[in-house]
Structure 1
């Protein structure tokens, strides 16, 4: 009779075995004594150099996979080839560390469950190896509930093991230091009848995950007291206060650090006005002027705040007295008030007032009319400053020539000190004379330079002088008139 057809069996008998494991392949003939047979093997259509009835493959690789068949010979008689038995060698996939809850990021101090998942490895008896090594206390599990610490900043990763098979290490699930909430406001003052939107966020936020999957709930505080708790990180407020926020998630609740505080003010209807005392927008270096913030309405007491583009910022008081102005004081000035009794109530900013400080000292221009006169006629002096409307009073002088020094000294004319008018009349002028003016204003009074001298020529006096004196006086006055 023909010898029976052999059968190929695997030990272990699974058709799916993981790379790195060991398997025994066996050729069995029903009722046949193994010692009497010689064996021939093939995988697919390719012969294998093996002649025994069974052989052991250690540390399987993918190349060992395929359909195994055998036949046997004895006394020049061959059995049929066995049916093919397929060995599937599975390379376990790289595991994934997952989180429960499924947050995109974990932070030091949080308590979470980490889980090692091997895709396609279900049903196999894996043991697990973890990084950091402190998790590898026997027995090692596929998941742990852990409280993350700063020392775990390298993150968490795992791999699976069974017999000689090992998966790759998973990617690390990284740990981030404790986050700080960030608070943004679309404006810092609540307009009259309006509101301000505040937004709280925790960084780094994952762009691929919605705020709900990141698990944060937002806790709001106003003036240090609990204000509101929301899953949405945005609130609308219509009352002033010092606001801050923080995020919290998990069980027990893990809190981020508090955000920086943002002061939100409520705008009251009182409107401030900036005024200048004296009311001169253009002044000269060295003058004194006061910039004042005035808030009308009610008997409220205010703290004041100034905003200016001048080099020197005013102190936060109702008025700023500039005792000796310089170009550093030039600029726009505006102010607002904050109620002393309720620090979150403020006015709007006032309109700006511009102050210009000129570094030049002004010199007035004197004119005389007429400059040639008949004996006994009246003379009108007129003194002009660059800004005639700006509060000047005027001083009038006679220039007395010193013939030896070719110079003049100034004698104040009668009632010629600090006149409100910019003109001065001299009645009954008889002699040739020179005149000078200057202007002053403010408290303490600021004075301009003296004007250039101007001369009134009296023909009668000029004719009566002896020739030498006539020559000297004409030389002196004409010299001064030409010079100036």
Structure 2
């Protein structure tokens, strides 16, 4: 009987241990590109670092992945020497350690994309999206750093800027959403009375509004006891920290429902009407209004039927919110040219590299200082 009990206990303990093998910790590994640029020439070096947000500072082993392939390195840093075009891809890392109940792994990090270019020219752009109104700096790099005579910048295949080769950097000032696109550069230099020209692969430039247009979500029967519904104003706010505060305003039939609030939601009586919201950043002089949304009104020429919108997650004060900036006056800068198409002249040399490609809608409601709206519907 004792042998049976011992066997049962051993079996139960084995099941407990097995059930905890390869469990994931509740936190995610973080990956960082230590190198300055994510697009490099073949033969250059790239370095990535992995970190685990563990306050107990446990001893972790680091796993590295390129796509779904697990790499042999296990250190905190991943060093890629004399890179090859084939090493382009999305890189991930993950932490693992042994415990008394088995091996524990963190969640896999978000990816970092590395592009190894086997060509002659690279247009280097910032890794992170740029904001409307800011200045974008891009650099046209040529393998071997020859003395350049002329550099041309293209957007979506059309020339936008040209300058002599002594300054390979271009500056696009006062960015707008119209500057979104795929950029490339063409560089020329002279060697033994021969002009050589190379064109880089295209690189996508992302530009974000500081404040996006809000979307109003209406949740009926949110408080059935008091017959109230919930109005939520969904926006994205991309201002760098410390970001100025945002004020939210809610409207029914063009009349404001109470004063401004720092919360992006409001509970109001559930009554038919045309509802909307506005987000405003006073310090940046930015504001944006949502499209009016019909709730409980018959469809007429003035009031279109309410559109069904997808549910959005609730936003907290710690989550990013977005706004649409007032269009500023373009600052002084080099004039843009939009006439010459991309040349197709390629480098002619005996050495060959494997090229790798790699509103503010006029608010119909009163301004924030105008408190003429009836707040009786707001509880």
With the length of structure 2 as denominator, give the TM-score of the two structures: 0.30
Rg (Cα) greater in structure: 1
Q: Which has the higher contact order (CA 8 A, sep 6+)?
A: 2
